Amino acid sequence: MTVVLVAKYHVKPGNVDKVLDGLQRMKPLVQRDEPACLFYQVSRSSEDENLVMLYEHYRDEAALGAHRETPHFKAIIEGEIVPLLERRDRELYTLEIS
């Protein structure tokens, strides 16, 4: 069962470029080191300049859990990006139609 994660990063004003830079460095590490991550996409809101959305697909819940334990997640997401956020909203879905 494919797990879909939608994460919305509400970035503190003036920090969006830093967040996008971190995510730009994150994507190739995910693609290289996490074969169970099937899709990893970053988008910026066209309505709110401080809102960034991540849309990710994982083979299963174990793959999502493993993603959160990787050195790059801990260093880039938790270490660099989270301190630049006002808040982070996450929603999990199950892929039904692809």
Tens digits of per-residue pLDDT, 83-98? 999 999 999 999 999 8
* DSSP, res 49: T
Q: Are 10 and 87 in contact (CB under 8 A)?
A: yes
Domain boundaries, the chain: 3-94
Residue partners of 3: CB distance under 8 A and separation at least 6: 57, 58, 59, 60, 61, 63, 64, 92, 93, 94, 95
Q: Provide the whole-model pTM.
A: 0.94
Residue 98 pLDDT: 81
| CATH number given to 3-94 | 3.30.70.100
